[in-house]
A and B are shown apart, each in its own frame.
Chain A
C-alpha cells in the first residue's frame, strides 16, 4: 500500500468545526428547554392558581381585573373532613398495593427464577404477555367479578364492588405481572452458590427465600414498592369505575368530582387540592430522582 500525500482537508476544517460544535450545543439546549416549556407552564399555573382568586392564563387577577388577588382561601378545604377521608382511602389503596404486590411478587418471582416445577414455562410466558397486555379492557368483566365477591358472606362488604378493599385488590392484580417480572429479574442476578450453601447448611426452601434471598433483593423490592405506591396513590380509572359516591372515593376521584359537578368549577380550589395531592410525589421526586428514572426504565406500565 502506498502512502498518499497529506490528507487534503487538513487545514480548512479547523475553525469551522469549532463554530459548528458551538452552534450544535446551542441548538441542543434550545431544543431541550423548549421541549419542557409546556410541562413547566402546567406546574407554574398550578402553583399560581392555588394562591389567587382567579387566573387568566398565567396571570393572577383580582376582583377588578387587575394583576393581584392573592389569597389563601383556596386552601380552606384542609379543614373539610371529606378530603381527609379521600386521603385516607388513597393511602389505604397505596399501602395495600405495596404490601400485596410486594409479597406476591417476591414469592412468585422467586419460584419462577429459582425453582424447577411443572408449568414454569407456561406461567413465565403468561406473566410476560400479561405484562404487555393492558388490563383496562377487562374492567367490564372485573365489574361482575367484584359484584360476585361482594356477595361472599362476612368479607364481601370489604372486597366487593364499591369498597376500598375491592379497588385495592384489583389494583394489586393489575400490577402483579410487572412486579413478578421485575422481581424474577432481580432474583436471576443473584449467585447460585450462596443459595446452594444455605441448602447444604440445612435450610428449607422457604427459609432460604426469607433469610438469604430476600435481603439480597432489598434494593429491587424498594424500587418496586416506590413504583407501586405511586401507582396506587395516583390511581384514577379503577377507583372511578368501581366506586360510587364520596365515601369510598380516593383523592383523584374526589378531585374529578370537584370538576365535574354541575355547579361552575372553582378552578383555583381544584388546583389547590391537586397540589395538595401531589405533596408525597414531590417529596419522592426530590429525594429519589435516580431511583425514579431507573424504575420507570425497568418496564413501566402506561402509555
Chain B
C-alpha cells in the first residue's frame, strides 16, 4: 500500500508535535522515522495509526484520504516498544484478538493464528500467559498479533528498545526479512540510527517536529542536507568547525586558528559565495594518523595534542585539541596513541561538508 503524508501537522494548545510533514512511502517499502526523543516521530506514527487526529494536512492510503477513518478500519498492524500485550490473556488470546473482533469463524481464527506462530517460531507458547514469556518472546507475540490481521501497513514504535543488545541484533534481521518476504509497507520509528540505517529503504530524519531530510541511508550519510542531519547521522558524530573559505594561489583554503586545509574546488566553489564564516564538517573516520605509510601533504594535515583516548576495541576514539578546538577522530589501535601525544592527522578533504551557519542548510547539496 502506498502512503502519502501531506503537510501533516499536530499541535496541542500551541505545543507543536509535528509540523508540516510531507512525504510518501512506496508500496512494500520500509521507511524509518529517525530522530531524538520528542522530535515528533511517534506523534506522526500515531496520526498514521489514527490514534491522534491531525490538526492540519492529510494522510492518504493508496490515494484515498483516511484522516477520518477509525484505526480499526485502516488495515494496519502495530508493534509497540512496551509490546502492549494484554496481560490477562494467553498468547493465543492476544494473537487471536483482532480476528475475534472481526467475528471470524473459530476454525479460521485457529488456522490463521497457527500460520502466524509457525512463521514466528512461537508455536509452543500458545497457552502461556504473557508474564511467563521472555522479552524476545513477547516481542514475537506482539509482532504476530500485528501480522495476523494481514495488514496493509505495519507500524513499529521503537519495537526493539526494550531488548538486550544481542537479541536486538537477531530481531532486527528477522523483522527486516519478514517485511521483505511479506511485502508489507512499513513505518519504523526509532532513535537508533544503526537500526534505521540497516533496516530502512529510506529514512525520514526528524527534529523538533520538522522533517529534516528524507532519503536513502547512503545519501543521508554522504550528502547530508542540513547541519542537524549531518550531526545526527553517523556515530561517533561529525566534527564541526567554524572556518573562513579564502581563495589563494588558485587553491581554496579553509582557515581558522590552527586549521588550514586545502578544499577540493568543486566543493569550495559552492561555499565561496558566502561572506564570512561557514561551518565545516568532518567525520571522525575521514582522517588518518600521519606516519611512514601515509605521509603528510601540505594543506591536507592537522596537528594537535591528544586529550582523551577511548579504546573501542577495533579502533581508538581519540580526542584531539587543535589550537583549542576539540575534534574527535578514529585511529587504528595498533598505532598506540596515548594521552599527551602530539599527533599529525592526514585529512580526506574530498569528504568534507560545508554548511551555511545562518540557515544550517548544506552549501553542497541544496
Contact = CB atoms under 8 A, between A and B. Distances in A.
Do A and B share a direct contact in the complex (Cβ within 8 angstroms)?
yes
Interface of A: 1-4, 6-7, 9-11, 13-15, 17-18
A7 B147 contact: no
A10 B183 CA distance: 21
Contacts of B74: 7, 10
A15 to B, nearest CB: 6
Interface in B49-79: 61-62, 64, 66-70, 73-75
B66 A3 contact: no
20 contacts: A1-B116, A1-B119, A1-B150, A2-B150, A3-B183, A4-B152, A6-B1, A6-B61, A6-B64, A6-B152, A7-B73, A7-B74, A10-B61, A10-B73, A13-B68, A13-B73, A14-B67, A14-B68, A17-B69, A18-B68
Interface in B110-146: 115-116, 119
A21 to B, nearest CB: 9
Contacts of B152: 3-4, 6-7
Instruction: Identify the interface centre among B70, B182, B184: most chain A CB within 10 Å of its CB.
Output: B70
A7 B70 contact: no
A1 B115 contact: yes
Contacts of B62: 6
A5 to B, nearest CB: 9
Given A1-B119, A6-B64, A10-B64, 4 more contacts: A1-B182, A2-B150, A7-B73, A14-B67
A10 B116 CA distance: 25
Contact of A11 (B69, B115, B119): B69
Contacts of A10: 61, 64, 66, 69, 73-75
A13 B61 CA distance: 15
Contact of B150 (A3, A6, A14, A18): A3
Interface residues of B, number: 21
Listed from nearest, the 3 A-B pairs whose CB atoms lie closest are: A7-B75, A14-B68, A13-B73
Contact of A14 (B69, B75, B115, B147): B69
A17 B70 CA distance: 7
Contacts of A2: 150
Contacts of A15: 68
Interface of B: 1, 61-62, 64, 66-70, 73-75, 115-116, 119, 147, 150, 152, 182-184
A14 B59 CA distance: 13
Contacts of B68: 13-15, 17-18
A6 B27 CA distance: 13
A6 B150 CA distance: 11
Contacts of A1: 115-116, 119, 147, 150, 182
A9 B70 CA distance: 10
Nearest to A2: B150
Nearest to B1: A6
A4 B182 CA distance: 12
Contacts of B184: 3
B63 to A, nearest CB: 10
A197 B147 CA distance: 53
A9 B182 contact: no
Contacts of A17: 68-70
Contacts of A3: 150, 152, 182-184
A9 B73 CA distance: 6
Nearest to A4: B150
Nearest to B182: A1
Contacts of B150: 1-4
A15 B64 CA distance: 14
B283 to A, nearest CB: 40
Contacts of B73: 7, 9-10, 13
Contacts of A14: 67-69
A10 B67 CA distance: 11
Nearest to A12: B73
A15 B70 CA distance: 10
Contacts of B119: 1
Nearest to A13: B73
Nearest to B50: A17
A17 B73 CA distance: 11
A6 B70 contact: no
B182 A13 contact: no
Nearest to A14: B68
Given A3-B183, A6-B62, A6-B75, A13 B147 contact: no
A168 to B, nearest CB: 47
B115 to A, nearest CB: 7
A92 to B, nearest CB: 49
A232 to B, nearest CB: 42
Nearest to B68: A14
Nearest to B115: A1
B70 A13 contact: yes
A169 B1 CA distance: 74
B86 to A, nearest CB: 22
Contacts of B61: 6, 10
A222 B204 CA distance: 51
A3 to B, nearest CB: 6
Nearest to A11: B64
A96 B150 CA distance: 67
A109 to B, nearest CB: 31
A18 B70 CA distance: 9
Given A1-B150, A6-B152, A7-B74, A13 B115 contact: no
Contacts of B115: 1
B76 to A, nearest CB: 9
A15 B73 CA distance: 13
B94 to A, nearest CB: 18
A203 B68 CA distance: 66
B113 to A, nearest CB: 12
Nearest to B116: A1
Contacts of A11: 64, 69
A1 to B, nearest CB: 6
A67 to B, nearest CB: 44
A270 B167 CA distance: 72
B149 to A, nearest CB: 9
Contacts of B66: 10
